[in-house]
């Protein structure tokens, strides 16, 4: 089983147990040790994975790190754990900072079993940096995360090389985070910048609310088109049949623009209650499913857009699906109450929970002509961008 498959199993474990892992020991047993095992370390070998590693400092005795990973007899990596229900914060990092300075380790992990933060001594040797150079969450694992995590597997672990790359990884992570925030939850400045280039005249508050969920979807669609174009060029330029055989098989089916827009609208509705990064799109042969925590047992909605006839959006209550025909993508906003109820069901929150400030529902009183005009302009912009790429 490859690393990606092992991490996928851990994701299912997180979805199943995260609500009941209330203690640090529970997080260690159910999540952290299986993660170290997925990296290829023998968690039953105390010379390789050392539990309760002593990290005394000066006259202060009894200081212990949860785990120390040894490589060729030397401590290569420290692991400090917190309960799964506790969000990682700077105070936890300061505790690990003390341990780091009295050991020979140059890498450290702070985790609650779900979220993982990786630290190094980039700025000053043997002094752990204040900020992690890499972090990821098993609740929202991305493909590029897996490529980085693979560097920490037992066969590939090279402390000096990782520390050498950590500075660039840290900067890249900050840039990626800023870009992803714009794609997932575009800032007012970014939305206004794009909307003013598309919509003539005054940008009203109602129009701003309309454009907000569409801007990220449009940018993502343009990126997808450029990637597809490069892949197509690579296939056409392959020198021989053997080179074609080495390329991965293309994913099928391909998400349409309308499916991507529909997903962004559902994601925007769910974002009033949960972190939008937890809401993901999964392709299927007959429909696209919008999932919470990338778990097919936590389906928020289904986009039945792949038939030749009418388009439907499926909402669920328990195991029962109700399909509603839509004439326009903005009709999905009419299903907001059903989608919110589904999110609250999975989050074990009472229906009608108070929303946080600034998350009021977008106005649905926008004239249909304005909505149709805006969507048409978005499609024209994508066609022009695609033709000029």
Q: What is the pLDDT of residues 257-311, one digit of tens each?
A: 889 999 999 999 999 899 999 999 998 888 999 999 999 899 999 999 987 777 8
Phi, psi of 115 (to 5 degrees): -100, 140
pLDDT (0 to 100) of residue 56: 66
- pLDDT(202) > 90: no
pLDDT (0 to 100) of residue 366: 38
Whether the CA torsion 345, 349, 354, 359 is positive or negative: it is negative
Average pLDDT along the chain: 80
> For residue 76, what is the enclosing H or E element?
strand 74-81
Task: Indicate the pLDDT class of residue 388, thresholds 50, 70 and 90.
Answer: very low
C-alpha to C-alpha distances, 84 to 99, 132, 137, 205, 380, nearest whole angstrom: 21, 19, 12, 40, 46
Residue 149, SS3 per DSSP: helix
Q: How far apart are CA 292 and CA 193, in angstroms?
A: 30
Task: Indicate the pLDDT class of residue 126, thresholds 50, 70 and 90.
Answer: confident
Q: How far apart are CA 168 and CA 14, in angstroms?
A: 30
- 331 compared with 254, residue with greater pLDDT: 331
pLDDT (0 to 100) of residue 374: 54
CB atoms near residue 335 (< 10 Å): 20
CB atoms near residue 336 (< 10 Å): 18
Are 165 and 51 within 8 A, CB to CB?
Answer: no
pLDDT (0 to 100) of residue 251: 47
Q: How far apart are CA 83 and CA 309, in angstroms?
A: 50
Q: How far apart are CA 20 and CA 30, in angstroms?
A: 11
How much is the average pLDDT of 336-341?
Answer: 92
Scored b (16 or more CB within 10 A) or e, 41-72 reads bebeeeeebbeebebeeeeeeeeebbbbbbee
CATH T-level topology, domain 3-180: tt1808, chain A (3.90.1570)
Task: Indicate the pLDDT class of residue 356, thresholds 50, 70 and 90.
Answer: very low
Q: Return the top range by mean pLDDT from 44-58, 91-105, 171-185, 312-326.
A: 312-326
The model's pTM: 0.50
- 120 compared with 1, residue with greater pLDDT: 120
Task: Indicate the pLDDT class of residue 382, thresholds 50, 70 and 90.
Answer: low
> HSE of 301 in the Cβ direction (CA atoms, 13 Å)?
30
Q: How far apart are CA 180 and CA 172, in angstroms?
A: 12
- pLDDT(59) > 70: no
Estimate the share of the chain in helix, then strand, then coil, as percent rounded to the nearest 5. Answer: 50, 20, 35
Q: Return the top range by mean pLDDT from 60-64, 292-296, 345-349, 366-370.
A: 292-296
Nearest to 298 by CA among 323, 284, 313, 318: 318
Are 120 and 107 within 8 A, CB to CB?
Answer: yes
Q: Return the top range by mean pLDDT from 33-47, 60-74, 158-172, 200-214.
A: 33-47
Tokens 């009894």 belong to: 62
Encoding tokens for residue 7? 């991490």
Residue 301, SS3 per DSSP: strand
Q: What percent of the chain has pLDDT over 70?
A: 80
pLDDT (0 to 100) of residue 357: 41
Nearest to 32 by CA among 140, 136, 111, 150: 111
Q: How far apart are CA 17 and CA 28, in angstroms?
A: 12
DSSP string, 315-376: EEETTEEEEEEESSGGGGGGGHHHHHHHHHHHHT--TTPPPPTT-PPPPS-S-HHHHHHHHH
Q: Where in the chain is the domain with CATH 3.90.1570.30?
A: 3-180
Are 70 and 47 within 8 A, CB to CB?
Answer: yes
Nearest to 49 by CA among 84, 77, 81, 26: 77
CB atoms near residue 251 (< 10 Å): 8
- pLDDT(321) > 80: yes
Encoding tokens for residue 389? 């790429």
- Render pLDDT for 213-253 as a digit per residue (tens, 0 to 9): 787 777 777 777 777 776 666 555 544 433 333 334 444 55
**DSSP annotation of 151:** G
- Render pLDDT for 151-166 as a digit per residue (tens, 0 to 9): 999 999 999 899 888 8
Encoding tokens for residue 263? 């997903």
Residue 108, C-beta contacts closer than 8 angstroms, at least 6 positions apart: 77, 78, 79, 80, 96, 99, 100, 118, 119, 120, 128
């Amino acid at each position: 089983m490859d690393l990606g498959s092992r991490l996928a199993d851990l994701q299912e474990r997180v979805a199943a147990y995260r609500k009941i892992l209330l203690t640090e020991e529970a997080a260690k047993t159910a999540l952290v040790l299986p993660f170290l095992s997925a990296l290829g370390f023998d968690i039953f070998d105390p010379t390789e994975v050392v539990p309760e590693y002593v990290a005394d400092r000066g006259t202060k005795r009894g200081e212990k790190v949860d785990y120390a990973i040894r490589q060729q007899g030397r401590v290569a990596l420290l692991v400090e754990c917190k309960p799964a229900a506790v969000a990682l914060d700077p105070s936890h990092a300061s505790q690990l900072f003390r341990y780091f300075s009295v050991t020979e380790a140059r890498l450290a992990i702070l985790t609650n079993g779900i979220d993982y933060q990786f630290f190094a001594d980039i700025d000053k040797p043997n002094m752990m940096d204040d900020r992690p150079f890499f972090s990821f969450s098993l609740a929202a694992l991305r493909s590029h995360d897996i490529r980085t995590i693979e560097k920490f597997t037992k066969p590939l672990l090279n402390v000096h090389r990782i520390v050498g790359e950590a500075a660039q990884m840290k900067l890249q992570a900050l840039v990626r985070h800023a870009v992803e925030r714009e794609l997932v939850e575009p800032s007012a400045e970014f939305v206004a910048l794009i909307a003013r280039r598309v919509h003539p005249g005054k940008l009203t508050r109602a129009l701003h609310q309309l454009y907000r969920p569409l801007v990220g979807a449009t940018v993502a669609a343009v990126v997808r088109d450029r990637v597809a174009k490069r892949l197509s060029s690579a296939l056409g330029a392959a020198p021989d049949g053997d080179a074609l055989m080495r390329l991965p098989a293309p994913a099928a089916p391909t998400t349409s623009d309308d499916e991507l827009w529909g997903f962004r609208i559902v994601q925007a509705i769910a974002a009033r209650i949960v972190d939008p990064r937890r809401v993901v799109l999964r392709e299927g042969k007959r429909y696209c499913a919008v999932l919470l925590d990338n778990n097919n047992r936590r389906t928020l909605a289904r986009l039945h857009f792949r038939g030749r006839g009418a388009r439907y959006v499926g909402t669920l209550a328990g195991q029962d699906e109700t399909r509603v025909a839509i004439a326009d993508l903005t009709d999905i906003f009419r299903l907001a109450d059903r989608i919110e109820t589904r999110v609250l069901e999975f989050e074990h929150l009472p229906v009608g929970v108070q929303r946080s400030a600034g998350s009021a529902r977008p106005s649905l009183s926008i004239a249909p002509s304005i909505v149709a005009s805006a969507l048409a302009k978005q499609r024209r912009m994508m066609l022009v961008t695609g033709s000029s790429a």
